[in-house]
Amino acid sequence: MKQCSQNYYGNCWQNGSGHLGVSYDPATWQPVSEYSCATQVDVEEAITAARYAFDSGTWPHQPRLRAEILYEFAERLQARMQEIEPWLVQLNGKLIKEARGEIGAAISELKYYAGLTRNLWGRVAEIDDGCYSMIAREGAGVVGIIVPWNAPVTLLIRSLAPALAAGCTVVIKVAHQTSLVHQMVLECLTQIGTLPKNIVCSFIEENADLSKLMCEHPLIDVISFTGSSRTGKKIAAAASGTLKRLSLELGGKAPAIVLPDVNIESAVNQLVAGALPMAGQQCTAIARILVENSRFEEVTQRLVSALSAIKVGPGADPVSQMGPLIDIVNRDRIVKLIDTAKSQVKVHLEGRVPSGVLSKGAFVTPTLVEVEDLNSPFIQDEIFGPFVVIERFNSYAEAIERANATRFGLAASVWGENSELARKLSSKLKSGTVWLNCHNRLFAEAETGGYRESGYGRLHGLQGLDDFMSTKHLYWEDH
């Protein structure tokens, strides 16, 4: 293993003061690369440097420079796309097309926020004769970004791009599983000659101690986190002592409501695709399929057929339709859930660990279970894997009641030919995003975020800047 990912602070890439860790290919569970863990001393140095750069530098006052750097970041990432793509596949396990789509989305995000950077307008109002109020928009300060492993490029850039556009400086906590991909992406920024010193710092850790330090640190103004609701609650608790701003996109349990007039032949393949991105390891993935009773048996049979036909294999294999989970621990966790389901609910399709060479990796085939009890953990808990629940409903009111019956509210979809009915139902869903006759359509221009325990704040779009900006009122009188 010649590749070793490092930490970035002091304007250079360097080994952390901690131990070396090993990253594995989830498709083979063979070691691929190493990473150098940071310590508290490293992180304190990074935070202090980012604080000084924000307070003493000109970065917050140079929107044109920020725009130019974001554009160049996008161009450099585009130039290295073919180099980064296979590493993303190998370290994360996702399919080639998923890796390509993820990097492409990050490039789009950078260009979008580069365009917004020079349009951060405030306003001025004459309150009375000679009395003026000016509302200014400015960077919120130092941002701590905590990046997960499931989409390490997109989920980095969708926080980093608006933070930099707003004029903030940034300290990033990297997921160790995909830290080499992170370094390759961030090099596209750090190698830009016009980037001022210490605008961006980055560190690697295996547990959450340094993340907790960052959340508690008085020199950090904003935390942007994507991950589980359980971890989000810990972050909120850790940040409460300093009342720092939080942008949290947390867990999901996305329902897909299938109406009786649905075109099943068209919908089923899309439902399967919506349920299995990154082997189901996506917070917006379809986790529950709610079907009107008159079409239930037909939809179930077609789903079993479609899910059974999914070709599981390494992400680098162009014929693979679903890659592995992130590691063996999560594979075994899903297998245990499947075993539990067999004694508690009706199992229409039982997932299994493939035989042969794939048995050495973190592979498990899709599962489909039928659940009636809304209190079942298969409905209430985020599973984060290729494990899909199917449910019956007899009326539109029941469909909405069931769809809203969890503590999550990140994403949902409605499927049917009657677009007016679909839109009406969508307005009753407690979800930050609702798609009609499609799922997982995500792009830079449209805000996403959660209701309830799926978090707060918004990423992407114009509102994606809000979590990284402060509003200042300046008043003066001319007499």
Domains of the chain, each with CATH number or no CATH: 4-250+453-477 (3.40.605.10), 254-443 (3.40.309.10)
Pair 327, 177: CB distance under 8 Å: yes
Which tokens hold the place of 53? 């750069």
In 3D, which of 412, 398, 392 has the Cα closest to residue 452? Answer: 412
What's the pLDDT score for residue 18? 87
Catalytic residue ranges: 249, 283
User: Token match 């229409």: residue?
Assistant: 348
What's the pLDDT score for residue 16? 86
Q: β-strands 4-5, 30-36: how paired? A: parallel
In 3-state terms, the chain is what percent helix, strand and coil (to 5)? 40, 25, 35
By three-state DSSP, how is residue 470 classified? strand
Pair 448, 470: CB distance under 8 Å: no
What's the pLDDT score for residue 165? 98
In this structure, the number of other CB atoms found within 10 A of the CB of residue 378 comes to 23
> What phi, psi does 144 have (nearest 5°)?
-100, 120
Pair 460, 448: CB distance under 8 Å: yes
Determine the angle formed by the axes of helices 154-166 and 179-190, rounding to 10 degrees. 30
Residues of the chain with pLDDT under 50: none
Q: β-strands 20-25, 30-36: how paired? A: antiparallel
What's the pLDDT score for residue 1? 58
Pair 73, 33: CB distance under 8 Å: no
